[in-house]
Chains A and B, each alone.
Chain A
Amino acid sequence: MAMKFKFWGVRGSIPTPGPRTVKYGGNTTCIEVNNASNDLLILDAGTGIFALAQTLSGQSPIVAHIVITHTHWDHIQGLPFFLPLLSPQNQIHLYGGLDPVTQLGIERALTVQLQYSYFPIIEAQVKARVHYHTLRPGEPIQIGSTTITPIVLNHPVLNFGYRLEDSDGSSLFFTGDYETPSNPYSADDPDYASNQQFIDAKLFEVHATMQGVDALIVDSSYTDAEYAKKAGWGHNTYGGALELARQVHAKKLFLTHHEPTRDDRELETIFQNVLTKAGAVDFEVYLAREGIEHILR
């Protein structure tokens, strides 16, 4: 069975429930992946993970692998509501990077939320067996039939993009939140040329990790006009995502991290404009939509 994945949350920053977002969904980032060995893999734990957890009720024991791109709220906020945490027969594996500033691992994503003042359940009351795994970029890990390789992608906090490669060769890459770095120096600055070489070297590494994936899921928060005011905020544009997919020869591109101010109609209008502007491309392009499952190959 080929790898398949399902979006449980596609919104950036903050949940946006209501009639204006009912089609694409209002939950923040969460993607469920099922692999050939039938493991439960979850990419990010935004509010979408709550609905995902509902589908697991009645199953026991549950072994879940939750892989976190970065620790901004919209990617971890659903963790305390991942109900399998409360049953002793379950095993939850949490994966993520070591924060460069605090030098703390991914355990902080749960610890910081399960405090008396902020949540009725404290860490000691979590009954499932929780295993924390600190990942290093460029060093693959194996979960069942799937190999997962992290890479550092530019964002205001340490953010890992992940390539998932299954035993049958099907593959997926999720950026988490990502802004393609641009050269801050003007062309006549003595630091311009060396900085551009640093950027090109990094992009080469990023493209190599995304190369030829079946599904490329990319943070595409902004239109070009919006980006002009939000450069440095850590997110890509629709145009930037299309360019990326073209460069790495992705087969399908999924645009996600929809702006919280964006309603369904606006999202579709922007999408049509972006496609028209892009012209013919040799890959399929989709707006990530909550509740929709995609089978690779």
Chain B
Amino acid sequence: MTNLDEEQLLVFVDKMPAFRSSVQRLLLLAADLNADGREIVQVIESDPLMTVKILKVINSPFYGLAQKISSVQRAVVHLGINTIKNLALSVAAIGVLPTKNQAGFDTHAFLLHSLTTAALCKLLADRLKVPLMQGSDYFVAGLLHDFGKIVFAEFIPTAYKQVLDTAKEQEINLFQAELDILGTDHSQAGKLLAEHWGLANELVEAIDHHHSEHLHTQLGDCLFAANQISKKLGFGFAGNPVVDELPPDTAHVFGMNLEDLIIDLGDLSTIKNEALAFID
């Protein structure tokens, strides 16, 4: 990376706060001795930073998993709800992300895009009859695919403001503006972080290739399509003004192009409303 010090970036992200909505909800739940574990899981699953923190710990060699996992629910089965809750609280204790940061990046709209992409990615997994146990991996891929953007917006706000403005003015893909100005893009940053945290290879690959050199895997296809659908339907906004058509291989997997897929999926407003219920 040209303008970024990787070491600094990693240290920075470790200290990054979580989203306001999840921090507030988690603190309320944590104060209740009889809080429902399912609600705690839901709050964590609705926050990329809390999710990443849990996955980072659960996948470390100190907890003896035979294979890496990308599911908060599975982390709960392995380490117990109390430990997972306390891990999330340690993120909540850092503070909350401002709704609008110095880069002019709207974290609320970003979260809505991430959450709807997550839900759509899982929905598409069902459509492709992906095994049940992997469904949550698809959700997490959607949740974390743009993680690099929020890191850029916090870590290098001035440069990232320029990126966001350029993409908007020239109506070009955000990753293209990132490459032009930063010499790297959010999928590469996301990949770097995901690798550093020891997340599952499939997840690292899906984040890495969600724009360039699209990898034709089931997870890659679902993530690509979910991302475009979320943008097309205006479910939140994560800085990218461009909606891409499905690559031929991906369209083949779903048996139709993007527009037909959206029509075929039917009413998707519940996905947006469920996400909104979490972050408002």
Contacts and interface: CB of A to CB of B under 8 A. Distances in A.
Given A100-B57, A137-B63, A184-B38, A197 B79 contact: no
Contacts of B38: 184-185, 191
A107 B235 CA distance: 49
Can you list the 10 inter-chain pairs with the closest CB atoms, starting with the nearest?
A137-B64, A156-B82, A138-B64, A198-B77, A98-B62, A198-B74, A101-B86, A194-B132, A154-B80, A100-B57
A154 to B, nearest CB: 5
A151 B79 CA distance: 11
Nearest to B54: A100
Contacts of B36: 184
A136 B86 contact: no
Q: Which of A100, A101, A136, A151 has the most CB of B within 10 A?
A: A100
Contacts of A205: 66
Q: Which range holds the interface residue count of chain B? A: 20 to 34
A100 B83 contact: yes
A155 interface: yes
A285 B63 CA distance: 32
A209 to B, nearest CB: 10
Q: Which of A98, A151, A152 has the most CB of B within 10 A?
A: A152
Interface string B73-114: 110011111110011001000000000000000000000000
Interface of A: 97-98, 100-101, 134, 136-139, 150-152, 154-158, 181, 184-185, 191, 193-195, 197-199, 201-202, 205, 232, 234
A100 B73 contact: no
A139 B63 CA distance: 10
A234 B133 contact: no
Interface of B: 36-38, 57-58, 61-64, 66, 71, 73-74, 77-83, 86-87, 90, 132-133, 135-136
B73 A191 contact: yes
B77 A232 contact: no
Given A100-B63, A193-B132, A194-B73, A202 B86 contact: no
B44 to A, nearest CB: 13
5 contacts: A152-B63, A185-B38, A194-B73, A194-B132, A197-B132
A194 B135 contact: yes
Nearest to B62: A98
A157 B64 contact: no
Nearest to B69: A198
A140 B83 CA distance: 24
A139 B64 contact: yes
A199 B78 CA distance: 8
Contacts of A157: 80, 82-83
A205 B87 CA distance: 24
Nearest to B35: A232
B83 A202 contact: no
A101 B86 CA distance: 7
Contacts of A201: 133
A139 B255 CA distance: 47
Nearest to B90: A101
A197 B36 CA distance: 21
A1 B203 CA distance: 51
B37 A100 contact: no
Nearest to B39: A184
A55 to B, nearest CB: 34
B117 to A, nearest CB: 18
Nearest to A195: B73
Nearest to B80: A154
A181 to B, nearest CB: 6
Contacts of B57: 100
